[in-house]
Structure 1
Amino acid sequence: MARPRPTEFNKVKTVAENRRARFDYAIQDVYEAGIVLRGTEVKSLRFGEGSITESYAEVTGDEVWLVNSNIPEFSHGNRFNHEPKRPRKLLLKQREIARMHGAVAREGMTLVPLSVYFNERGKAKVELALAKGRKAPDKREYVKEREWKREQGRIMRERG
């Protein structure tokens, strides 16, 4: 039997974060995936450059690809530089890929990257979420609920 995956991932250095995704999507499951990168891409990420705000992931066959993520060219990369918006392969277990494929195909869910970071071993990882899009009324309800929880915390602190 497989080891249970931790709910929190060991993020040593967060490079890029998609904060808007938590508002626009109702997140169901979160996965940690490795990224296949070229040398100059790793160097750019180590300098803290990169953006995943308009990116998404798609399952094609037995592979998952990160599409439309922007890792700018490395300043000292000369002819070995990479293409900034190329699709990047994500490394996941076959069981996770099958689960994602089923959810995307049957339930109409979306694969959204939440953050790109380096773990404690120095490997670049992507926090990938299986999410369902929120409509405008759902977003308003989400904001009301979040503000009410904040208000509850204030009231509890004031009363001791």
Structure 2
Amino acid sequence: MAKQKKQHSNDNLMAQNKKARHDYSILETVEAGVVLTGTEIKSIRARRINLKDGFVQIRNDEAYMVNVHISEYAEGNQFNHDPLRNRKLLLHKKQIRRLAQSTQDKGITIIPLKVYLKNGFAKVLIGVAKGKGEYDKRETIKRRDQKRQIDRVMKHY
């Protein structure tokens, strides 16, 4: 019997930026590795990471994840890390150039969507996003509520 390749299951998902899909419309996603210290990966495995205010910045042809909070590791003693330090993302040069090109447009930003473990390594799913206006947010909520009502009615038939 052949092994089936499994997608990211919920037990591998360490953190998710739920507010991102509400505030932004995601145009494109890219998977990237993250350069972490030992205490950072231990904190991530304990699910002590917050992506809410994070974003990706491109400097000198390198991508950095900024403003992502990884709590200090409880048993870390003097080797603990700074919770808000900038973390380098591992991407190919072509991917970095394409991301830098896409952020030249007004209102486009790069945000972290998910952090998960893949083969023992921490990966981050980053998205090229365009900010939604208030009207767009209300429209999204309205569409979601309508879909919920339709599903509820169809469930009885």
Is the pair's TM-score, using the shorter chain for normalization, greater than 0.5? yes
Give me the TM-score of the superposition, normalised by structure 2: 0.89
What CA distance in whole angstroms lies between the structure 2 residues aligned with 1:89 and 1:129? 16
Gaps of 5+ in 1: 1-7
Aligned to 1:114: 113
RMSD over aligned Cα atoms: 1.6
Aligned to 2:65: 66
| Per-residue deviation, 1:158 | 2.5
> Does the aligned pair in 1 maintain the 2:8–2:116 contact within 8 Å?
no
Letter aligned with residue 103 of structure 1? S
Aligned to 1:102: 101
Letter aligned with residue 34 of structure 1? G
| Per-residue deviation, 1:108 | 3.4
> Does the aligned pair in 1 maintain the 2:112–2:127 contact within 8 Å?
yes
Aligned to 1:89: 88
| Structure-2 change in CA distance of 1:67 and 1:31 (3 Å) | same
CA deviations over 1:50-81 (Å, ceiling 9, x no partner): 11111111111211110011111111111111
Gaps of 5+ in 2: 1-5
Give me the TM-score of the superposition, normalised by structure 1: 0.88
Letter aligned with residue 155 of structure 2? R
SS at match of 2:69: coil
> Does the aligned pair in 2 maintain the 1:57–1:67 contact within 8 Å?
yes
SS at match of 2:31: strand
Higher strand share: 2
Aligned to 2:138: 140
> Does the aligned pair in 2 maintain the 1:14–1:117 contact within 8 Å?
yes
| Structure-2 change in CA distance of 1:95 and 1:36 (3 Å) | same
Identity across matched positions, percent = 40
> Does the aligned pair in 2 maintain the 1:9–1:32 contact within 8 Å?
no
| Per-residue deviation, 1:9 | 5.5
| Per-residue deviation, 1:155 | 2.7
Aligned to 1:57: 56
- How many aligned positions are there? 151
Aligned to 1:3: none
| Per-residue deviation, 1:150 | 1.7
What CA distance in whole angstroms lies between the structure 2 residues aligned with 1:118 and 1:9? 11
What CA distance in whole angstroms lies between the structure 1 residues aligned with 2:88 and 2:136? 32
Identify which of 123, 126, 135 aligns with 2:124: 126
> Does the aligned pair in 1 maintain the 2:54–2:112 contact within 8 Å?
yes
